[in-house]
Amino acid sequence: MMNAIELLKQDHDKVKKLLEEISDTTERAFKKRAELLSKIAMELEVHTTLEEEDFYPAFKAAGAKEELKMFHEAKEEHRAVEALVLPDLLDTDPGTVEFSGRIKVLKELLEHHIEEEEEEMFKTAQEIMSAEQLSTLGKQMGEKKVKLMKKAA
């Protein structure tokens, strides 16, 4: 059984791998690009839901002013991806150079977000939350993830 941070890091690794894979494609691989983008969008939707409904509120509740700032910044970064970058990307022809550019922007945004979460938020969470809290949260998130993945598939 994974704790909350391990579960989220596993998701991060999966998304980074998919982003790497889609970045290595060319305009000719439009079918593969479309499939990878669909996987990325699904992974992000499930991951974001887990963070915003479970992990972030628990982190915010355990923390103080500095954690509140991290909480709001992380949510804003999610919003930038969900409301701006991803919808445009999903409407872009995978066989174009424009698609390549938008993938690069998505990849950079997500890599920055992941790095901040792992280097700052997760490290802080380990300091302000007990191992038991993180474990219980991980179990709850793991069960929810299974349901969300079924619904998204």
DSSP of 54-73: IIHHHHHHH--HHHHHHHHH
What is the arithmetic mean of pLDDT over 55-77?
A: 96
What is the arithmetic mean of pLDDT over 24-40?
A: 96
What is the arithmetic mean of pLDDT over 97-117?
A: 96
What is the arithmetic mean of pLDDT over 98-120?
A: 96
CA distance 152 to 41: 10
What is the arithmetic mean of pLDDT over 47-59?
A: 98
Is the per-residue pLDDT at 126 higher than 90?
yes
Dihedral over Cα of 13, 14, 15, 19: its sign? positive
Domains of the chain in start order, with CATH, are 4-152 (1.20.120.520)
What is the arithmetic mean of pLDDT over 108-137?
A: 97
Within 10 Å of residue 63's Cβ, how many Cβ atoms?
19
Is the per-residue pLDDT at 58 higher than 90?
yes
